[in-house]
Structure formats: C-alpha cells, structure tokens
Structure 1
C-alpha cells in the first residue's frame, strides 16, 4: 500500500512537470520589427586655433613650456599656461570676442 501511494504521488508529480506551459501572449510586435536604429551622434571636429599667441597674455604659445588648450563652442582655444586657461574659464565670452577680433 505504501509503495502504491508513493508511485501515485510520483506519477502525479511527474505529470504536472510535463504539462505544457502556456505561451505568454503580447500585443507587441517582435522587437526586431519595431526596434529603431539610433543615429549615432558624431561630434563635429572643433575648429583649429588660428593664432600663434595666447589670447590672455599675447605671449607666444610656447613661451612658458606649459601650452594648454580647450574647446569652447566648437572652437579650439590655446593658451601659454594653465593660469591663462583658468582666466579664460572665468569669462570665455571675452576671449571668444577677442579671437573674432584677432582673426579680422
């Protein structure tokens, strides 16, 4: 009797494991048909710095042996040293106008 009970429980257990699982239903189309390809934004190459001098001190760019640069609004700005870059960062508009004036 004990063996019959164990076999029945095992048979029912195995039968429940073998039952098919209903597939999930969704209203959405497959991802491959609705996926949008994201356009990769490619950063435009910044304009090169046109001068041979620092906008802050008007010294040659290589006079201090600390030449540094930054890009602001798509324009590269070069400076003779880090303190000049700090001054630029405090008021970049001033140096943007100075560069426009220097270029003519």
Structure 2
C-alpha cells in the first residue's frame, strides 16, 4: 500500500502506529530537494516542529492574537487541545536554532 505524508514528523508518527510500515522513499509533495534553499523562511508546525510547505493552503489556529500553521490537518486538534505545550516546544526549537546559527 502506498501512503503519502506531508512531513518527516508525520512519517515518524505513522511508523509508530503502523510498525510493519516499509518506507521506500520520502519526498515533500510538489517540491524538489533544492527548491527550499531559495525560498523565504516558512512557518514551523508547533506540533511536529517541521516546516509548513504552503502556509496559504495549510490548516491554522489563532491563539493569543497569533496564527499557528500546521504541516497537516491532524496536527490542528492536538494543538487546540493544549496550545501552551506546543508553543513552548516551538519556542525552545527556535531558541536552539538561533543559538546554533550564531556560532
């Protein structure tokens, strides 16, 4: 059976639910590996901590006056249930990336 996923994080989640899953290849739909290098910074899904490929077509939630975009529709209800948990994880990832890039 062929399955498509929107991000590496979703692939990992799927493999936890389906232990016998065999993956032959992974690619983000509609994007070549080099395409992301020249694009503007993309929002990060607060649940999977992966880039959101197309924010104009992505699910999102508004929380405390800010929009949070998701890599797939399944992430939205998780975020809506406990937004502070996911925002904290997102801020930690962004802080770590900032520290790493300033070295």
Q: Same fold (TM over 0.5)?
A: no
Higher relative contact order, chain-length normalized (CA < 8 Å, sep 6+) = 2
- Give the TM-score taking structure 2 as reference length: 0.42
